[in-house]
Amino acid sequence: MEVLISNYPEELVFPEDIEENVRRAIEKVGELYGVEDSEVSVTLTNNAYIHTLNKEYRNMDRPTDVLSFALNESEEPEIEGSPAMNALGDIIISVERAEEQAEEYGHSLRREVAFLTVHGMLHLLGYDHMEEEEREEMEKEQRFVMEQLGISRE
């Protein structure tokens, strides 16, 4: 699994283990869902930047915790001779919002960031939560992955 992690704005500083936590969650989803030969780009950011993206792409004028932009949402034909690496898409996580939610929910930042990463990855794989049935299925998958990661509601 190719995991590209950056932060924006570049001067933002996060706890050292955040990147490893994100990488581990993505690799576990890759392993569990058979997409180990894929690429995912992750941007760790703050509330101000994710607010801008949320407004621009979802018409929601507020910060959010995670956004996912899937590259494989349509059924496009494979191009012969194309690289083997499957680019799944981009995940943007507000570490600032993750810190707020971890405190609000009474668990660790490690758990919250892993959960948001898993949530974003499941979106890249086509899961959604717009309808009740979809929401239940996605929540079941999230619990399954978090259990496989060995991360409980710490």
Residue 112 domain-assigned (yes or no): yes
DSSP strands (E only) in 76-143: 86-94
* Residue length of the chain: 154
What's residue 69's pLDDT? 96
DSSP strands (E only) in the chain: 2-7, 38-45, 66-70, 86-94
**Full domain range(s) for residue 93:** 2-149
Regarding predicted confidence, which is higher, 87 or 72?
87
Of 55, 65, 40, 62, nearest to 121 (Cα)?
40
Residue 154 domain-assigned (yes or no): no
Cα→Cα distances 110→5, 14, 21, 61, 113, Å: 16, 12, 7, 27, 5
pTM: 0.90
Residue 67 domain-assigned (yes or no): yes
Residue 75 domain-assigned (yes or no): yes
Q: Does 74 have pLDDT greater than 60?
A: no
Domain CATH code at residue 41: 3.40.390.30
Structural domain total, the chain? 1
